[in-house]
Structure formats: C-alpha cells, structure tokens
Structure 1
Amino acid sequence: MKIGELCRETGVTVRLLRYYEAQGLLTSQRSQGGHRHYGPEAPATVTRIRTLLAAGLPTRVIRELTPCFVGDGTEVQACVVDHLRTQLTEMDSRIADLTQARTALGGILEASTRA
C-alpha cells in the first residue's frame, strides 16, 4: 500500500507517517522510484502507535515495546507489563504534581480576587 492509501485508511497525515518511520515505529519498502510501500499490517501498526501516543507514552517507549506486541497488536507480552506499570506510575506522579500545582495556582487567584 502506498503512503496516500495508508493516510486515507488511518486518517493520519503523510507528515506523521514519515515521522513514525523516522522514529523507528513504522517500516516501509522503497520502490525503484523511491516511493514508500507499506505492508498489510501497516494500518494496525499506525492504530497501535496512535493508541499508545494517546495513552501518553513517548515514541521512545513505543519503539521499545513494538516487538513485544502479540496477535492483533492490542496485547503485549508479559515481559513488558512491568515496564507499562512503571510508565503508569510515573504518569500518576505527574498528575499528582499537576493537581498540586493547580491547587496552588487556584489559591493564588482566589486570594488575588479577595484583595
């Protein structure tokens, strides 16, 4: 499948597909004319990438996890579950920090409006 077809099927721009490829998340073969051709698994791969990005994982982590997907790509091997748990714990920590910062900012605003 050509890059335009993959764009239409996944709703992802050409620029993003090229970025995913540059990051090692997606692979293609090149024709003699230099055109990218993707295999039949490419739409599922792009969907998985988008899902993991939406879950807050950076491309570096997604690249590390890519070989560990099982079956249709929604399940990972047991060996990476701890890695995902670590990512979740770090995300929870960032959320707690942001919540604390939001509370502090709200307090400053509240004090300012009373003055």
Structure 2
Amino acid sequence: MQSKDAAARLGITQRMLRHYEAEGLMQVARGTNGYRSYSPSDLRRAARIRDFIATGFSTREIHAMRACLSDDGSGPCSGGIEKLTEKLAHIDRLQAELDAKRTAVLQRLYTLRQGLDATAAE
C-alpha cells in the first residue's frame, strides 16, 4: 500500500508517516520505483505509534518502547507497563495542577463579582 492510502486508512498525514520513519520508529520497504510500500504489519505499527502520540507520548518516549510496536510475541512488551504507568502519573500531576489553577480562577472571579456587587449596591 502506498503512503497516501496508508495515511488515509490511519487518519494521519503522509508527513506523519515520514516523521515516524525519520524518528527510527518504522522501517518501510520501498518498491522498485522508490515509493514507500506499507505492509499490513507496517500499518499496525503506525497505528500503535499514532495511538501512543494521541495519548501524550513523544516520539522519544515511544522510541524507548520500540518493543511495544511490533507484532512479535503475544505478551506485554518490555517496559510497556512501566512507561504507561509513568505517563499516567504525569497526566495525573498535570490534571491536579490544572484543577488547582481552575479553583484559583473561580475564587478570583467570586471575589471580583462580590466587589462589583458591593459597588453596584452603593
């Protein structure tokens, strides 16, 4: 399958597919014409990369979990559970920070509204 069709099937751009390859996350065969040719296995690998990126992983982090991208083996990949657990902890920290900021903004709004209400009452 050529890159245009592969990208369409995966819901990403051809540029993203080339980026995955440039980052060393994929090695795609080329036809005699020099065009990339994506196998079903390549599509599954690219889908896994796409899904990791969608959940917040950088290509550098995904590179460290290369074993999680292949079709080899049926058990958990090397380091996958640890990396996913770390990412979840990171997301939880970010969410807690955002919740604290949201609370601070709500408190500030309340204070400002109270001040405006007091001014309007005078």
Under a length normalisation based on structure 1, what TM-score does the superposition of the two structures give?
Answer: 0.79
Unpaired stretches in structure 1, ≥5 consecutive residues: none
> Is the contact made by 1:29 and 1:37 (CA closer than 8 Å) also made in structure 2?
yes
Please say if 1:106 is aligned against 2:106: yes
Please say if 1:5 is aligned against 2:23: no
Bigger mean CA offset, 73-82 vs 41-50: 73-82
* In structure 2, C-alpha distance between the alignment counterparts of 1:75 and 1:46, rounded to whole Å: 19
Query: Aligned residues: percent identity?
Result: 31
> Is the contact made by 2:45 and 2:69 (CA closer than 8 Å) also made in structure 1?
no
Unpaired stretches in structure 2, ≥5 consecutive residues: 116-122
Q: Which has the larger radius of gyration?
A: 2
Task: Find the counterpart in structure 2 of residue 94 from structure 1.
Answer: 94
Query: CA RMSD for the aligned pairs?
Result: 2.6
Change (3 A) 1:22 1:71: closer
Matched AA of 2:86: T
Under a length normalisation based on structure 2, what TM-score does the superposition of the two structures give?
Answer: 0.75
Bigger mean CA offset, 85-94 vs 70-79: 70-79
* In structure 2, C-alpha distance between the alignment counterparts of 1:42 and 1:99, rounded to whole Å: 40
3-state SS of paired residue (2:15): helix
